[in-house]
Structures are given as C-alpha cells and as structure tokens.
Amino acid sequence: MLKYGTSFKNANPTFNRSSTIHDNKEYIVSGVSLMEKLDANDKQQQPSQAQLLDKLKKVEQEFKDFAYIISHDLKAPLRAVKALTEWLATDYADKFDDEGKEQLKLLISRVGRMHNLIDGALQYSRIGRVTDDPVQIDLNQLMPEIIEMLVPPANIHITIENQLPVVVSEPASIRQVFENLLSNAVRFMDKPEGFVKVGSIEENGCWKFSVSDNGPGIKEEHFEKIFKIFQTLQPKDQLESTGIGLTLAKKIVELYGGKIWLTSKIGQGSTFFFTLPKQMTAVASQPLQPVAT
C-alpha cells in the first residue's frame, strides 16, 4: 500500500533529458512523414470527381435501359396474352362451361395485375430521377381536381376541413401523394356512409397534412408493412390492388424532407399524416371554397 510522503527519488533510473527530446523529435518527424505518405496513398486510391461522375452516368444509363426493358419487352407478351384471352372469351364463349369462363376471367385479371405491377415499379423507379421544375401549387385548387378525378361513390363524402397552404413542389409529385391517400380511403371504405377528411396545420416549422376516414382501420402490427412495395393487407383476389400507392407516397414525402405515418383503430378508421418543411411552402391568401362530394 502506498503511503503519502513516500519518496520515489531513487526508484527510477537516471535519464538524459536532451537525448529524450532528440529521440522524441525523431519520432515526431518520422510520424509526420508516415502520415504524409499514407495521405498520399489514400489520394491516389480515391477516385477523382470526374471518375465518380462517369460511373454515375453509366449507372443511370443502365437504369434507363432496365426501365426500357421492363416497359417494352415485358409488356409486349402481356398484351399478346391479354388479346388472345379476350379473343377466346369472345369467339369461343359458347364452348366454355361456367368454370371455364371463370378461369378465363381470372386469367385476364392476372394479366391486368401484372401490367399494373410493372407500371408501379416504373413509377417507383422514376421518383427522384425524373424531375420537373418545382412550382407554386395552391392545394385549395388542386384538391377539387383530385376529388373530381377519383369520382368517389355517392355514399362517400370527401371534405376539406380548413385552408390549405401553397406548396413549392413538382406538380406530379404532390398530386400523387394526395391521390394515393384519398384513393385508398375510398377503395377500402366498408361503411354504408363513408367520410374522408383532408386538413393541414402548422407545426414545428412544417405543414402537417392529414387524410382521415371512418373505414375499417388497420392493425398496428401492419403500420410498417403497408408502406413496403407490393404489400397489401387483403388478398388480391378479393380486392385488386398493386400495393404500390403508399410506397410511392412515402418515397415522395421523404425526398422533400418530410415524413409519413398513421394512427388507426380497428372498426373506426385511420388517419394518415405527412409533413412538408414550411420553408418550401407559402400560405394561400385566397379564401377557402368548401369542397364536398
């Protein structure tokens, strides 16, 4: 055990201070030299900016070629199969019994689904790669256009709850987000009278948008799954869906620096939220014209 006051005067051997300083200088000099050599080697091994750009261009061209193959080479046989199936269903209708007719109908449906899946994959691949110039978009004018295009059934009412902002965005991108959220609310409605509400609030430097419905609701365990590509909660034979809509919406929102999430209760409905940074938006000055269908 060490005691206070213990002397270590003779515990260490004597040393030459000037010699130690000299040795330390050599170590420092040699260390600096070694670091310079390593840095020089790293710079030689690192690709130049021009090389990186060249690689990026090659990857982009390969991606374009791949997209072309998907959109043309894969769709061509699908179109042929669809045409042949429809010809059989029309010209040989009297040759098929009820089961045969049902199988033909199922085949046509499968071909249509495959076509939609290819289109969905292409749409997903274009996000962030194929861009238009951002412009100011008054959502109070855009929403009625989207609702009119969706043509919701008479028993489903879509309302805009409050004044919406003007956002700076690519027109197709922001339209696609709202279209996918609203079309899902309409498609999956299970109530005799459906209500879908669109709103927005200012929160933490962002605009927070919401699309709520009184539909079937979604179990919390599926909250992440529904945003994954080609994932659906219902069998595709019961309700035709590609499972791409929410994936597209999520990718678009995140590219703009926002996030998307939902809350839901089984049997009561769901509310999807997404945010857009406010610095890229401006508040609309026009009075809100209520829209309902």
Q: What are phi and psi of 46, to 5 degrees?
A: -70, 135
Tokens of 20: 């130690």
pLDDT in the model for residue 24: 47
- Those residues with Cβ within 8 angstroms of residue 284's Cβ, 6 or more apart along the chain or in another chain: 138, 139, 140, 163, 164, 165, 166
Q: What is the pTM of this model?
A: 0.61
pLDDT in the model for residue 263: 96
pLDDT in the model for residue 280: 57
What are the pLDDT tens digits along the chain (293 aa)? 434 343 444 444 444 444 444 444 444 445 445 556 555 555 555 567 777 777 777 776 776 676 667 666 777 777 888 888 888 888 888 888 888 888 888 888 777 777 767 776 676 666 666 566 778 999 999 999 999 988 899 999 999 999 999 998 888 889 889 999 999 999 999 999 999 999 999 998 899 999 999 999 999 999 998 888 766 666 555 555 566 889 889 988 998 889 999 999 999 999 999 999 987 544 443 333 334 44
Distance CA 93, CA 143 (A): 44
* HEC profile of the chain: CCCCCCCCCCCCCCCCHHHHHHHHHHHHHHHHHHHHHHHHHHHHHCCCHHHHHHHHHHHHHHHHHHHHHHHHHHHHHHHHHHHHHHHHHHHCHHHCCHHHHHHHHHHHHHHHHHHHHHHHHHHHHHCCCCCCCCEEEEHHHHHHHHHHHHCCCCCEEEEECCCCCEEEECHHHHHHHHHHHHHHHHHCCCCCCEEEEEEEEEECCEEEEEEEECCCCCCHHHCCHHHCCCCCCCCCCCCCCCCCHHHHHHHHHHHCCCCEEEEEECCCEEEEEEEEEHHHEECCCCCCCCCEC
HSE-up (13 A, CA, CB side) for residue 287: 1
Which amino acid, residue 62? E
pLDDT in the model for residue 140: 94
Distance CA 75, CA 80 (A): 9
Torsion, Cα of 117, 121, 127, 129 (10° steps): -150
pLDDT in the model for residue 229: 72
pLDDT in the model for residue 27: 44
Tokens of 276: 């857009």
Fold of 135-282: Heat Shock Protein 90 (3.30.565)
Among candidate residues 234, 186, 178, the one with its CA nearest the CA of residue 213: 186
Distance CA 65, CA 52 (A): 20
Q: Let me know: does 173 contact 230? Beta carbons within 8 Å.
A: no
pLDDT in the model for residue 112: 76
Distance CA 133, CA 165 (A): 19
pLDDT in the model for residue 51: 78
Residue whose token pair is 């179109």: 79
